[in-house]
Amino acid sequence: MSTENALLTILVEKIQSDSLVLPTLPEIAIKIREAADDPDVNLHMMAGVIAQDPALSARLVKVANSAFMGRSVKVESLNQAVTRIGLRQIKNIATAIAMEQLFVSKNDLVREYMSKSWEKTVNVACVAIATMQHWQKDHKHESINIDTLTLAALVHSIGVLPILTEAERHEEVFANPSFLEAAIKRMGGKLGGAIMRSWDFSGDFIEIAEKWNDLDYQTESVNYIDFVRVGALYNDLLCKGQADIDKYELYVEKGVVDDIAYFKTDEFAKALGDIKSVFA
């Protein structure tokens, strides 16, 4: 049996027996989410929790000062940043930023793959967010929101992590990118859903992690998964090689994108640049 087939067999068996080790949510993200769910928490208390992680604190100040938040007056402290972002948004935005901590490895080959995977994930998220910002101009009263999409887009491909971690024991596998891609395509969704459940995330996150690359699965109304898919289409992670008019046809019909010409506008370019600066 080849190394590739052996690894595939191991992965399938571990998934079936529920013995595959899943990544855990970063500790600081757990603390923030628990605090956000406390009905008695206030902005000052939340800032105290976030302050336990200096790197995350600095990133959130940067987010608060970014064009993404749409404010021109700069904040100088974490307390001010949390106040600007708000308790409702801080839970998902802070968790989203903390996600990057999971895409690391002591193995050079694995670290390279994880770095590329995180880069792809961020690129998908940025396009998804820019698309939703444009969509919201005509749908101000819809229930879906940017901060939830930000996190949903950054965990959509989380199922890649246990696959790469398991493959780390077989370095020769990394010489065959096509095998890894096939393994991720075959099992990434199932693993992504399992991770979201183990983290006690809601149905929207589970749905996206499991189904984002299964185009046979569609929602009746516009939902988070549509924006993630638009981001994936834009980055050639879905329907690779198809003409734009065909790739985006469903999302134009659904009203997620009013016109594919939007992706060539200055408005989109500026929005994309502003959002990418948050994750730089």
Q: pLDDT, tens digit, for every residue of 197-230?
A: 999 998 999 999 999 999 999 999 999 999 999 9
Average pLDDT on 10-16 reads 79
Element (H, E) at 80: helix 78-85
Q: Give the number of residues written for the chain.
A: 280
Residue 3 pLDDT > 80: no
215 in Cβ contact with 251 (< 8 Å): no
Does residue 155 lie within any of the structural domains?
A: yes
Average pLDDT on 230-249 reads 92
Per-residue model confidence (pLDDT) at position 4: 59
Per-residue model confidence (pLDDT) at position 69: 74
What is the Cα–Cα distance from 90 to 57, expressed in whole angstroms?
12
Q: Residue 137 sits in a domain of what CATH number?
A: 1.10.3210.10
Does residue 75 lie within any of the structural domains?
A: no
* Confidence category of residue 151, pLDDT binned at 50, 70, 90: very high
Mean per-residue pLDDT of the chain: 88
What is the Cα–Cα distance from 236 to 245, expressed in whole angstroms?
14
What is the Cα–Cα distance from 19 to 157, expressed in whole angstroms?
20
Per-residue model confidence (pLDDT) at position 93: 87
Does residue 60 lie within any of the structural domains?
A: no
pLDDT: which is higher, 228 or 82: 228
Per-residue model confidence (pLDDT) at position 278: 82
* Confidence category of residue 186, pLDDT binned at 50, 70, 90: confident
Does residue 249 lie within any of the structural domains?
A: yes
Number of domains in the chain: 1
**Lowest model confidence (mean pLDDT) among 133-147, 151-165, 174-188:** 174-188
Per-residue model confidence (pLDDT) at position 230: 97
**DSSP summary character for residue 96:** H
CA distances from 70 to 124, 271, 275 (A): 21, 11, 11
Per-residue model confidence (pLDDT) at position 2: 63
Does residue 187 lie within any of the structural domains?
A: yes
What percentage of residues in the chain have a pLDDT greater than 90?
52
Does residue 154 lie within any of the structural domains?
A: yes
Q: What is the extent of the structural domain holding 231?
A: 3-20+103-279
Does residue 96 lie within any of the structural domains?
A: no
Average pLDDT on 108-124 reads 91
Average pLDDT on 105-126 reads 91
Q: How many CB atoms lie within 10 A of CB 48?
A: 15
Does residue 91 lie within any of the structural domains?
A: no
Per-residue model confidence (pLDDT) at position 71: 66
Per-residue model confidence (pLDDT) at position 140: 82
